[in-house]
Amino acid sequence: MSETITIALIAGTVALVTALAVEAYKSRLVKKDRYYKLQYESYNKTWNSLYDLELSGDKLWSSPDQENLKNFNNQLGVTQEIVRQNALLIDEKHYIKLRELLKTFLNFGFEKNLLLALRKNGSYDRRDHSKIKSIRDELNKTREKYQKLVEEIMKSFRKQIK
């Protein structure tokens, strides 16, 4: 009889340990699921804001005026804030790329502002024309860079949320 009790105790212990392990596993799954949902929302908000910023930059590119510059700068601020707010859930390599992209957008806005200031002046001398051409060339490079970075980020975000 004592052997039967021992076997029953062992079986009960195994069942209890198994049940505890299953509950711990379920708990980890729930936490991971919650994390992935929050991360998905974070990536989605960040992407939406980046897209709005890209559209704003394209509008500033095609129609360089003070109103579009103001809208661009406002959207840049919003996007910077969203990236910072979601930094905890964004993969480190993505966060680094996002910071690089935001810096590129910042340079784009700065260069557009310089160009608008030179044009607003109205009286150009030969140096201003070469300065304007130089700024236009830099703007074109900056725009190409931010377009490339947006594409890279879109591809890496897709991989992350799959």
**E strand map for the chain:** none
The DSSP output letter for 95 is H
- Distance between CA atoms of 13 and 7, rounded to whole angstroms? 10
d(CA 109, CA 87): 23
Rounded to whole angstroms, the Cα distance separating 112 from 32 reads 44
The confidence score (pLDDT) of residue 115 equals 77
Tell me the Ramachandran region of residue 15: left when phi exceeds 0, alpha when psi lies from -120 to 50, beta otherwise: alpha
Task: Give the domain CATH number at 96.
Answer: 1.20.120.1730
pLDDT per residue as tens digits for the range 59-96: 998 888 899 999 999 999 999 999 999 999 998 999 99
Does a structural domain hold residue 15? no
Please check whether residue 57 lies inside any domain of the structure: yes
Is 62 a member of any domain?
A: yes
pTM (predicted TM-score):
0.74
With respect to residue 2, please indicate whether it lies within any of the assigned structural domains: no
Give dist(CA 87, CA 84) in Å, integer: 5
Q: Does 22 reside within a domain?
A: no
| 138: in domain | yes
Per-residue confidence of the chain (162 residues) as pLDDT tens digits? 688 888 877 877 877 778 777 787 777 777 777 888 888 899 999 999 999 999 999 999 888 889 999 999 999 999 999 999 999 999 899 999 899 999 988 988 888 887 787 777 665 566 667 777 788 888 888 888 888 888 888 888 888 777
Whole domain around residue 113: which residue ranges? 37-161
